[in-house]
């Protein structure tokens, strides 16, 4: 049993929305940058690794896809470990795993070793750092939570902007192996981010302590009764308790929610198209005759417009100037993003690729800003925590298969532009599931309205 003090902390305290909360925000900012920012910048390594191991585009792309899928799959594991130990301990452990994984990846003698180190182990470390940090950000902010989330996610864009030319410089100076060694040292800063995660202190007044003690005594009595029932071989309550604990982390009952499953299918197809473009943009630009630094600049340009898109369109969505469902807004941005990707193969010069990168970054940022707001509308705020973990588990299949499938078409057609065509088609298909979800929402609202009118008529008959 936990002591009353620890139980009190577990009960939580009101989010301060200031003070030390800004250091939590700073920590989350760098965690976003050193995880998803690194993933988006990894296209710089793509050509070097492909040429060194003399492999295909599909074979090289598995490194990134394994990392992305592992982040999604391991998110519930990270949440469970944070609840069992502490957010700080899990993030520090994750930072150490990330650093060690990339350092060992620099010594890899085959692609398989890169899959294990830079792919799986590094992705698992990212999950251990990202999930608890974002959770702590939500605990420290309440009234300013939307602003805090926007500022924290900006770390992904700003560090992508900074890391892409840095990685190219490091590769030119020390080869891709030396650049990975330096990246491994850089990722030790995730441990520093973890050290900043100080748990909230609960109120210490007499009433709270008394209530906690009463809860402790009640739990102790419950444990004693459960032990007695266990000796009588009554194991039903234990199964119920286990089921409740599992459901706390991954609410598997959501598979019976039709709207959630349709939205999850959107997530699978969207993930097929989300991660491939940033991986193949640099190789595509170099295949069109651009030099290394011009190609790296395209990722930086996309990151800057991504940042602007997230902040601006998130602010516009919050104002609700357009009286439409969030699902409809998301459908519009996803279709537009798919259209931009389908146009990419038409760009061949540096100015044309700059225009594409700017358009892609802007629409991608708008999609991310709106995407965050839809899930609570689908499942309700009270089930958001469980739904997010389960949604990421389902979406992981798209993140895993997206880059390799795009790489397969690239290898077959010997044209990196095919990767963008595949991504664009996947996003258009994902928008079809959003249209289905919109129709389900409309039907649900109509049913609720009809039920309310029927009830109103019944009351009129009863009292007239």
Q: Where are the domains of the chain?
A: 11-202, 206-233, 254-447
* Class level of CATH domain 254-447: mainly alpha
Instruction: Scan for tokens 């630094």, then name that residue.
Output: 293
> Residue 36 corresponds to which tokens in the numbers above?
């998803």
Side-chain half-sphere of 443: how many Cα atoms within 13 Å? 8
CA distances from 353 to 317, 365, 393 (A): 29, 18, 34
CA distances from 317 to 98, 327, 369, 404 (A): 35, 12, 8, 34
Residue 448 makes CB contacts below 8 A (sequence gap 6+) with none
Q: How far apart are CA 410 and CA 47, in angstroms?
A: 13
DSSP, collapsed to helix, strand or coil, labels residue 426 as helix
Q: How far apart are CA 242 and CA 102, in angstroms?
A: 37
* Class level of CATH domain 11-202: mainly alpha
* 43-53 vs 276-287: helix crossing angle, rounded to 10: 70
Q: How far apart are CA 49 and CA 126, in angstroms?
A: 22
Other CB atoms within 10 Å distance of the CB of residue 398: 27
Q: How far apart are CA 66 and CA 396, in angstroms?
A: 9
* Within this chain, domains 11-202 and 254-447 share the same CATH topology: yes
For the chain, give the longest Cα–Cα distance.
Answer: 88
Q: How far apart are CA 236 and CA 445, in angstroms?
A: 39
Closest CA to 95 of 199, 200, 183: 183
Q: Are 373 and 326 in contact (CB under 8 A)?
A: yes
> Could you read off the pLDDT tens digit of each residue along the chain, which spans 464 residues?
444 344 444 444 556 777 788 899 999 999 999 999 999 888 889 889 999 998 888 889 899 889 988 988 888 788 778 878 888 999 999 999 999 999 999 999 999 999 999 999 999 999 999 888 888 887 787 777 667 777 888 888 899 889 989 999 999 999 999 999 999 999 999 999 999 988 876 544 444 445 444 544 444 444 444 434 443 444 656 666 666 666 555 566 778 888 889 999 999 999 888 877 888 898 999 999 999 899 989 989 999 999 898 888 777 766 665 656 778 888 999 999 999 999 998 999 999 999 999 999 999 988 887 776 687 778 775 666 667 767 878 888 888 888 888 889 888 888 899 999 999 999 999 999 999 998 988 888 787 777 777 777 776 666 65
pTM of the model: 0.74
């Amino acid at each position: 049993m936990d002591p009353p003090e620890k139980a009190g902390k577990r009960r939580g305290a009101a989010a301060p929305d200031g003070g030390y909360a800004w250091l939590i925000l700073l920590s989350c900012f760098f965690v976003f940058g050193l995880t998803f920012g690194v993933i988006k910048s990894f296209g710089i390594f793509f050509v070097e690794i492909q040429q060194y191991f003399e492999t295909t585009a599909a074979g090289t792309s598995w490194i990134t896809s394994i990392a992305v899928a592992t982040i999604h799959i391991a998110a519930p594991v990270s949440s469970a470990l944070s609840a069992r130990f502490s957010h700080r301990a899990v993030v520090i452990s994750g930072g150490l795993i990330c650093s060690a994984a990339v350092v060992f990846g620099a010594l890899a003698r085959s692609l398989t070793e890169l899959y294990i180190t830079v792919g799986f182990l590094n992705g698992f470390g990212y999950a251990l750092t990202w999930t608890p940090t974002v959770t702590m950000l939500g605990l420290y902010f309440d009234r300013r939570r939307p602003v805090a989330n926007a500022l924290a996610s900006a770390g992904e864009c700003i560090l992508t902007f900074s890391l892409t030319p840095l990685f190219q410089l490091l590769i030119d100076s020390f080869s891709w192996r030396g650049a990975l060694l330096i990246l491994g040292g850089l990722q030790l800063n995730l441990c520093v981010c973890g050290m900043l995660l100080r748990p909230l202190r609960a109120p210490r007044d007499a009433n709270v302590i008394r209530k906690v003690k009463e809860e402790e005594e009640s739990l102790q009595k419950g444990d004693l009764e459960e032990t007695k029932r266990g000796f009588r071989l009554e194991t039903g309550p234990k199964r119920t308790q286990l089921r409740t604990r599992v459901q706390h982390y991954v609410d598997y009952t959501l598979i019976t929610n039709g709207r959630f499953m349709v939205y999850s299918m959107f997530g699978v197809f969207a993930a097929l198209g989300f991660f491939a473009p940033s991986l193949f943009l640099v190789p595509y630009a170099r295949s069109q005759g651009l030099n290394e630094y011009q190609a790296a600049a395209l990722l930086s340009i996309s990151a800057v417009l991504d940042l602007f898109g997230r902040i601006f369109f998130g602010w516009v969505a919050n104002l609700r100037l357009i009286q439409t469902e969030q699902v409809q807004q998301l459908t519009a941005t996803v279709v537009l993003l798919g259209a931009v990707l389908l146009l990419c193969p038409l760009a061949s010069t540096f100015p044309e690729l700059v225009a594409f990168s700017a358009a892609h970054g802007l629409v991608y940022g708008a999609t991310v800003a709106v995407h965050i707001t839809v899930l609570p509308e689908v499942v309700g705020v009270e089930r958001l925590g469980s739904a997010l973990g389960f949604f990421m588990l389902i979406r992981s299949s798209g993140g895993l298969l997206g880059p390799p499938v795009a790489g397969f078409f690239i290898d077959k057609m010997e044209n990196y532009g095919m990767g963008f065509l595949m991504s664009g088609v996947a996003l258009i298909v994902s928008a079809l599931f959003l249209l289905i979800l919109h129709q389900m929402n409309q039907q649900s609202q109509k049913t609720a309205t009809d039920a309310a009118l029927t009830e109103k008529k019944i009351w009129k008959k009863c009292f007239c």
